[in-house]
Structure 1
């Protein structure tokens, strides 16, 4: 989803908790990987591999100039012949070290074996974040969570992934006028153009 569509999605969701919640979660994600120089591991469940989130974070890493946001996708069924970026299996979670960040993306409750690995990663010193469907055990393991209930609410799991990945790549602190990227200027322009008109005085 490009910057214009994300801006329109945010506009549609104005008045709900989601734009702010996604920005807060993305801020935690960004602050846990950028100072460390990377180390973002992304894992889903056996039924749900977060390809979409991985692709968006890679794009945001490139567009924002923050390569630390590019995750390593940890897969349940990686095969020896897979390309290197798709060949990282769950065994990687056993080698997690302090300073790395593990982002669990799970619309439904993860399997017990995965939860055990997440617990071990946290004990090893990793920062654990969860974008989940509201599972209490997952939330209990994570340092920070953003839960998306599958109750037919205004947003779905896919939309929230778009909001989080876009917010992670945003330049939140205004820089000097000359250093702002074209994408940031375009996003700001779209936000201004789609904002409601000022109240009459």
Structure 2
């Protein structure tokens, strides 16, 4: 997580502390960590908007926390033929999805396209765990084993902010002896900002 992102997440957590959003983000993150093996987490968006930002943050959290199973394969609708291997994973990956793997769907539209819903449904039938972040899409939510729906205009939280919360929480360890997310972020800010004076 870059310094500005770390500050953003910490501030957002403080704003949302008395709301159910933090717990929902942590619950979804826990579902992400249940992916059995590295390479088993697929992340897909809509044809119009791919979740690049979330993919990058989950990859970072995977490295920092030593949780290789949360490093996602970004599944793209139309990868260009000259794309590097990690950016050339097409929709055929969804047809190979199996039990023990996770398909994480991010849909910023109020209704996911039918072509996406069909692929999600097919993956679910093979035993793949389906997770989603959406804008209140009932069909997508009905296909998901766990989901968070964020209706448009639900300030102070945005879909981008929610993705930050989920990716940050995904890097938390279940071991209670390990530092909590807030402590990790605070220590990270101390390192990048240097010592802070207390008036």
The normalised TM-score by structure 2 is 0.85
Superposition pairs for residues 85-100 of structure 1, below 5 Å? 85-100=86-101
182 and 26 in structure 1: CA distance in 2 versus 1, 3 angstrom threshold: closer
- Report how far residue 124 of structure 1 moved: 0.8
Q: Distance in 1 between matches of 2:39 and 2:93?
A: 15
> Where does the alignment leave 5 or more consecutive residues of structure 2 unmatched?
189-199
What per-residue deviation string (whole Å, max 9, x for no partner) do you get for residues 95-146 of structure 1?
1112110000101122111110110000011000111111000011111111
1:110 is matched with which residue: 112, 120, 130? Answer: 112
Q: Distance in 1 between matches of 2:59 and 2:175?
A: 21
- Report how far residue 12 of structure 1 moved: 1.6
| Partner in structure 1 of residue 85 of structure 2 | 84
Pair 1:158-2:160 in alignment = yes
Pair 1:14-2:42 in alignment = no
Q: Distance in 2 between matches of 1:181 and 1:65?
A: 14
Superposition pairs for residues 160-175 of structure 1, below 5 Å? 160-175=162-177
> Where does the alignment leave 5 or more consecutive residues of structure 1 unmatched?
191-201
| Partner in structure 1 of residue 54 of structure 2 | 53
What per-residue deviation string (whole Å, max 9, x for no partner) do you get for residues 12-35 of structure 1?
21212211111111111112x1x4
Superposition pairs for residues 23-38 of structure 1, below 5 Å? 23-31=26-34, 33=35, 35-38=36-39
Q: Is the 8 A contact 1:41 1:72 kept in 2?
A: yes
Residues matched between the structures, number: 184
3-state DSSP class of the match of 1:119? helix
The normalised TM-score by structure 1 is 0.84
